[in-house]
């Protein structure tokens, strides 16, 4: 479709040029929508989208029939196909979720049962002897996910940006949204100096700031808005080789997947993230975390020396809650604004948000536009 409405400047204005905003603009512009993506930062993906493990998740842990489950599994296939079509670097490196004893083994089998309920069928149980054949010794049991991979997240977003502009849409940086209003024919999106543009649809995909952006929308139902819960995750790195060619994950912990071993596409090894709830956005690495990381990692890397660990970086997940209870799914709705169904709010896009990005965009297109 093309913009034939004389009352508007764009079909869609998207707040946020992280991976979700870019995936939305790419998907919509392919369908002929004229999109404008705006971001308060000087470039794309400067927050959550560039501060994570760069893992393409398989969809193992999530609640059956949840958006996280369905969109992660679909998104994994979409992101691999996109990478193949547009020469984005990735590698299906495979992942082991490990158990150290019989009690952990029981939890491992429950994870496999959950994955099967989610129709995620390429997850394989391996006992100690089978793991030794894979070159993993000293591990009681594990689940193996061959379709889990690693990706060059910057290159992926850069390709999305390039295709968005080739499709006739626009991305503008250093452009924070100040407020949003609407009338019968259009939505008004205001920026600095009261400059504003008119559009048919407004999508709030501003990640860590999505709840704050929603509060600046006319007629937003504050009683329906979630609360922000920033979950900070720290990463450490090492400069020596490990015996592992794959990703190594412990059993999940509350709020995250545990301090795991990941590789990047250049062969570097890092560990993380942990989970620390914070009140304000802060990307400083706390050096006193080294002991915590060491004690966790040595369970599967006993030869590690604490001095091998070096602080790397931090990321922050935009977790949300309702009435103090954590909401463990993606939150996507056009029901928050009284009198306008063309305003879509996307919140709580934490892991596996990057993996799910193209599937989230496809979902929004089919359900709300």
Q: Check: CATH 3.50.50.60 for 10-57+154-227+327-368?
A: yes
- Distance CA(354)–CA(318), nearest Å, equals 13
pLDDT exceeds cutoff 70 at 8: yes
Percent of the chain whose predicted confidence (pLDDT) is above 70: 98
Share in percent of the chain as helix, strand, coil (round to 5): 30, 30, 40
Residue 117 has what pLDDT? 96
pTM above 0.85, yes or no: yes
Residue 123 has what pLDDT? 97
88-96 mean pLDDT: 97
pLDDT exceeds cutoff 80 at 253: no
pLDDT exceeds cutoff 80 at 250: yes
Q: How many other β-carbons are positioned within 10 Å of the β-carbon of residue 100? A: 15
Residue 6 has what pLDDT? 63
- What is the pLDDT confidence band of residue 5, given thresholds at 50, 70 and 90? low
Residue tagged 């790195």 (tokens): 237
Alpha carbon 203 to chain centroid, angstroms: 17
Task: Please state at what angle helix 67-86 crosses helix 353-368, rounded to 10 degrees.
Answer: 100
Task: Give the H/E segment covering residue 96.
Answer: strand 95-99
pLDDT exceeds cutoff 70 at 128: yes
pLDDT exceeds cutoff 50 at 4: no
3-state secondary structure of 203: strand
- Distance CA(367)–CA(369), nearest Å, equals 6
Q: What is the pLDDT of residues 20-50, one digit of tens each?
A: 999 999 999 999 999 999 999 999 999 999 9
220-241 mean pLDDT: 95
Q: What are the residues facing 145 on neighbouring strands? A: 95
267-277 mean pLDDT: 94
pLDDT exceeds cutoff 80 at 275: yes
Identical fold at 10-57+154-227+327-368 and 94-147+228-322?
A: no
Residue 257 has what pLDDT? 76
- List the structure tokens of 132: 């030794």
Residue 361 has what pLDDT? 98
Residue tagged 């979700």 (tokens): 20
For the chain, the structural domain boundaries read 10-57+154-227+327-368, 94-147+228-322
Residue 252 has what pLDDT? 85
pLDDT exceeds cutoff 80 at 179: yes
pLDDT exceeds cutoff 70 at 3: no
3-state secondary structure of 111: helix
Task: Please state at what angle helix 19-30 crosses helix 353-368, rounded to 10 degrees.
Answer: 40
Sign of the CA dihedral running 43, 48, 50, 54: negative
110-119 mean pLDDT: 96
Question: What's the fold here for domain 94-147+228-322?
Answer: D-Amino Acid Oxidase; Chain A, domain 2 (3.30.9)
Task: Quote the Cα angle for 131-135-141, to 5°.
Answer: 20
273-300 mean pLDDT: 92
């Amino acid at each position: 479709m093309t913009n034939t409405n004389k009352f508007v400047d764009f079909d869609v204005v998207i707040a946020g040029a992280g991976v979700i905003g870019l995936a939305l603009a790419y998907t919509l512009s392919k369908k002929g929508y004229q999109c404008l993506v705006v971001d308060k930062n000087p470039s794309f993906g400067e927050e959550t989208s560039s501060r994570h493990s760069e893992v393409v998740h398989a969809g193992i842990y999530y609640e059956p029939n949840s958006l996280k489950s369905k969109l992660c599994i679909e998104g994994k296939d979409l992101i691999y196909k996109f990478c193949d079509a547009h020469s984005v670097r990735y590698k299906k490196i495979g992942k082991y979720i490990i158990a150290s004893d019989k009690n952990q083994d029981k939890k491992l089998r429950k994870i496999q049962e959950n994955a099967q309920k989610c129709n995620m069928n390429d997850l394989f149980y391996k006992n100690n002897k089978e793991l030794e054949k894979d070159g993993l010794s000293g591990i009681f049991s594990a689940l193996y996910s061959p379709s889990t991979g690693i990706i060059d997240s910057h290159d992926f977003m850069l390709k999305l940006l390039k295709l968005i502009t080739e499709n006739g849409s626009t991305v503008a940086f250093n452009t924070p949204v100040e407020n949003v209003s609407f009338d019968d024919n259009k939505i008004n999106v205001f920026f600095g100096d009261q400059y504003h543009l008119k559009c048919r649809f407004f999508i709030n995909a501003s990640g860590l700031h999505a709840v704050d952006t929603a509060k600046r929308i006319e007629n937003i139902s504050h009683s329906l808005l979630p609360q922000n819960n920033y979950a900070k995750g720290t990463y450490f790195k090492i400069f020596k080789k490990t015996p592992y060619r794959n990703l190594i994950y412990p059993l999940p912990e509350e709020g995250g997947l545990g301090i795991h071993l990941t590789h990047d596409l250049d062969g570097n090894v890092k560990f993380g993230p942990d989970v620390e709830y914070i009140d304000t956005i802060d990307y400083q690495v706390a050096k006193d975390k080294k002991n915590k990381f060491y004690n966790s990692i040595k369970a599967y890397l006993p030869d590690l020396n604490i001095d091998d660990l070096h602080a790397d970086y931090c990321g922050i997940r935009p977790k949300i809650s309702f009435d103090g209870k954590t909401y463990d799914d993606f939150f996507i709705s056009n029901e928050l604004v009284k009198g306008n169904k063309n305003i879509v709010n996307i919140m709580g896009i934490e892991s596996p948000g990057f993996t799910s990005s193209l599937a989230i965009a496809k979902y929004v297109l089919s359900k709300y536009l």
